[in-house]
Every structure is written in C-alpha cells, then in structure tokens.
Amino acid sequence: MKSCILIFFLLSAVCLTSCKQQFEPINYGHDACTHCKMTIMDKRFAAEILTGKGKAIKFDDLGCLLKYVKDENFKDADAKMFVADYDHPDAQFLDVRHAIFLHDETFKSPMNGNLAATASEKGANELNAGLHGELLNWIALTK
C-alpha cells in the first residue's frame, strides 16, 4: 500500500514537471529576440517558435525567425511557429502555416523583415490597399 502511494506521488510529480507545448506570451519591453538580441517592443511583428519539448524561442521580427531557422539549421518536426497578427497585435498569435504574409518596405519592422501577418487573404488585401506589397504564404516564405 505504501509503495502504491509512493508511486502515485512520483507519477504525479513527473506529470507536473513534464513539459507542455504551450504558447508562452511575450513580455514586451523585457524579453529579447533570440536572434538579434534586441528587446521585443513592437507587438505587430513579434514571432515565436515552440520546440517539441515546449521551449519558447521568441523573436521581434519574422525575419529574425526565418534567419534563426536557417542559421541554426533548426529542424524539429514537432515545433510549432507563431506570428503576431498585424491587425490585432493583442489577440492570439497566428499559426504561421495558416497565416497570410504581406511583404512591403514601408512597414519598417524592427529588423527590416517587413512582413506583416494576417489571418486571411482578405485581411492582407485590405492592408495592401495603397501599398504595392507582395502576398505570401508560409511555404513561399520558407522556400
């Protein structure tokens, strides 16, 4: 009986400490970009990688995320990537695979990635009104 209780406690302890792959909110003005080391300030362009083990890697610009993936040869099949919604920077981050990106030099994003992410093509087109940006999806971006 005693050993049963002990096993139960041990198991629950393992469960509690096991890593959950959960999005970690960015603490703007405090957290630094992993790639360029700059403090993340601009909510519109932030991005995050969640590794399969649940570690959050934060970026101030999607351009930094793309460079990080390339430079570090980041290959983690279970990793999830998120990017801030340009139109709703305080809302939930978008999954990069479902986001539509607009590339335009006038965005002046922190590291000149100049990519704004939107939830839908419609949103991206609305944003593009008056600009001459280029609409991209995640596959085109990572090519």
Partner 1 sequence: MKRVLFFILFNALLCLKTAPAFAVVIKVFPVSNSIHKAISSAHKGDTLFIQKGLYKEHDIVIQKTLVLIGIGFPVIDAESKYQVFLIRSDSVTIKGLQIQNVGKASMTDMAGIKIINAKNVTIENNRLINNTFGVYLQSSALCNVINNTIHSDIKDELNGGNGVHAWKSDHLLIKWNTVSGHRDGIYFEFVTDSKIAENSSYNNARYGLHFMFSHNDTYTHNTFKDNGAGVAVMYSKGVKMYNNDFLHNWGDASYGLLLKEITDSKIEHNRFIKNTVGIHMEGTTRVDVEQNLFQDNGWAARVQASCSGSNFIGNNFIGNSFDVATNGTMMLNTFDKNYWDKYDGYDLNKNNMGDVPYYPVSVYSVVTEKIPSAMILYHSLLTDIMDQVEKVMPTIIPDKLKDNNPMMKKLKL
Contact call for residue 73 and partner 1 (CB under 8 A)? no
Question: How far apart are the C-alpha atoms of 17 and 124, rounded to whole Å?
Answer: 40
Contact call for residue 29 and partner 1 (CB under 8 A)? yes
Beta bridge partners of 42: none
Q: Minimum distance from CB of 108 to partner 1 (Å)? A: 8
Provide DSSP, 80-106.
EEEE--SS-TTSPPEETTT-EEEE-GG
| Residues 127 and 135 sit within 8 Å (Cβ to Cβ) | no
From 3-11, 76-84, 106-114, 135-143, span contacting partner 1 (CB under 8 A):
106-114
Contact call for residue 31 and partner 1 (CB under 8 A)? yes
Contact call for residue 41 and partner 1 (CB under 8 A)? yes
**Of positions 21, 43, 67, 138, contacts partner 1 by CB under 8 A:** 43
| Residues 97 and 82 sit within 8 Å (Cβ to Cβ) | no
Given the rule CB under 8 A, which residues bind partner 1? 28-32, 36-39, 41-43, 106, 108, 111-112
